[in-house]
Amino acid sequence: MEQTYNGMPAGHIADVTWQKSRRSNPSGNCVELARLPDGTGFAMRNSRDPEGPALIYTYEEIAAFVGGARDGDFDNLLAE
């Protein structure tokens, strides 16, 4: 596997299984997440552009984001 980096083509990340949220909708408004094979973190991609750029995050970064989302830290960003 080549070295992973932010913005690399998601299709160049080998040996990963992309997982889409159950909250995804038919209009394609969703992202997919995959655990990196070397165990260093995760890759995220736009499901409508699976060969487009991937964002690379460490385990700690994803854990902090998911924890914040569970705690409602970002709810005010969704208010209209």
Task: Return per-residue pLDDT of the chain as tens, 80 residues.
Answer: 578 999 999 999 999 999 988 877 777 678 899 999 999 999 999 988 999 999 999 999 999 999 999 999 999 998 76
pLDDT for position 80? 66
CA-based end-to-end distance of the chain: 43
String of b and e for 2-30 (b: at least 16 CB within 10 Å)?
Answer: eebeeebebeebeebebeeeeeeeeeeee
2, 54 Cβ separation under 8 angstroms: no
Contact 32, 20 (CB under 8 A): yes
Domain boundaries, given as residue ranges, for the chain: 12-78
Whole-angstrom distance, CA of residue 19 vs CA of residue 74: 22
